[in-house]
Structure 1
């Protein structure tokens, strides 16, 4: 089975690594904090002491790092790629991904952006939504890998289209969660029973399954054990706003939401599930 280098073993990266080990890939792993590789080492992965260690044994380098600049920095540290494919699966800006693709080309590698929708549970089951961007021949070459993580990996188009898809979806997560929080606040303030409101919402075209998932957290004010944190949601929303402006899109209506999310900085809400933004819509 193919040997893969996995750079970044946070919540999502570790789950992707566990899935790849489960289906038989040989895995070399690295993280800035070596302790975060422990689960994967117990499952049979080999730990790297620096990102480029043992690169000659890997044909693919998967990165699941915090953002575009960090990903570019780590990939640059690999030096000559010798034809290896770099597959970033973390969220980054469209312009960042396009620049990284050129960087990888100059380092002698191929590039396929493959951001995902979903988190730890979906990664472990191999049911992530993979939105790839790049050349079709590179996508086809990586399908055996991608099909272990998603039942239907999709090639969205050229480099940048996968990143655009991911940012657009994460913006919808932020906007939907915010809108639902506002609705819930007004419903409760009016004295209307939340369950009666939910009965109507579930029958409408406005309903999304995530609403019920987040209702439990919002009503109980429990945001621990997150799959996607408030801090990451804020980061991605700010990235969406930056890319929207570069594209000439008027997204100023989202500035208020970004400002609202700043209220979580340096609080416990930031490390909690992103539905913790519900605490920020309490205007009392």
Structure 2
């Protein structure tokens, strides 16, 4: 039986663990709060009591943690990785993942970045979009594992390319949601029925499926039960801007959205679905 570790059992990490257990893997799990492992243990997962040495005997150590700094600290705590492959699936910066890959090498392990697009529903069904970065031979070695989580995992290039791809996609999440929110508010204030607007938008080249996915939430102000929070979207947009600046790109057009999202910092919107940024596009917020 193939043995893997999942480090970080939040929304996505829990769903990944459940999927791997369902597919017959031996899964060892860790969370900073051990109480959050109880449900997974009932399903057959093994709790990691001590991080040091937890990579031994594991084909892969999948990390699903908040950011690059936390990931680096937790991986450091593993100690010797004994040739296992560390696969970070959370969103990180390009510089951060390259630094982590060097760290993993010093700990006698391998690193294959594997950030994903999708959350709990896609993970449970094995339909995450995996954008891996690393050595082709290492990707081929881990492909059978990744294929339980993704219908078609893709190797997009060397270490850092996966992070770049994920940040580019998350920037689109922020920009598309913001653009849709502004358009929606303008047509409503002008007295245009929302369905009339959508009937024109849907068959056009301007349409994105995410518009309909978030439409009712925006209209009803219902942002509970998030798969991706406003706070995480703001974090990832910050990361994108940092990397874009380092690459010499013109970021002025995005700085306004970054400042807008900063208004939600520390507010009740932080823990809600990211489309709660719709509340920020009205003057009264």
Q: Shorter-chain TM-score: which interval? A: over 0.9
**Is residue 30 from structure 1 mapped to residue 30 from structure 2 by the alignment?**
yes
1:140 aligned to 2:131? no
Superposed CA deviations along residues 195-230 of structure 1, whole A, max 9, x for unmatched, are: 100000001011111101110000000100000000
State the shift of 1:53 in Å: 4.8
SS at match of 2:236: helix
Aligned to 1:248: 248
Cα deviation code 1:12-53 (max 9, x no counterpart): 111011100010100000011112222211211011123235
Correspondence 1:183-222 to 2 at 5 A? 183-222=183-222
Name the structure 2 match of 1:70: 70
Q: TM-score, structure 1 length as denominator? A: 0.98
194-203 or 35-44: which moved more?
35-44
Alignment match, 1:92: 92
1:251 & 1:129 partners in 2: Cα distance? 27
3-state SS of the aligned residue for 1:122?
helix
Q: Aligned equivalents of 1:31 and 1:10: distance in 2? A: 8
Q: Is the 8 A contact 1:14 1:39 kept in 2?
A: no
Partner Cα distance (2:73, 2:81) in 1: 14
Counterpart mapping for 1:103-252 below 5 A: 103-252=103-252
Contact 2:19 2:125 in 1 (8 A): yes
Looking at structure 1, the residues matched to 32 and 173 of structure 2 have their Cα atoms a distance apart, in angstroms, of: 29
**Aligned counterparts of 1:188 and 1:50: Cα–Cα separation in 2:** 55
CA contact (8 A) 2:115 2:130 kept: yes
SS at match of 2:49: coil
- Count of aligned pairs between the two proteins: 284
Which stretch of structure 1 is more off in the superposition, 7-16 or 41-50? 41-50
Q: Which residue of 1 aligns with 2:18?
A: 18
Root mean square deviation of aligned Cα = 0.9
4+ long deviations beyond 6 Å:
none
Single out whichever of 171-180 and 256-265 deviates more from structure 2.
256-265
Conservation of the 8 A alpha-carbon contact between 1:7 and 1:51: no
1:167-219 residue CA offsets vs partner (Å, 9 max, x unmatched): 00000000000000000010111011111000000010111111011100000
What residue in structure 1 maps to residue 277 of structure 2? 277
TM-score (norm 2): 0.98
CA contact (8 A) 2:56 2:84 kept: no
Structure 2 SS opposite 1:72: helix
Listed as ranges, the gaps of 5+ residues in structure 1 are: none
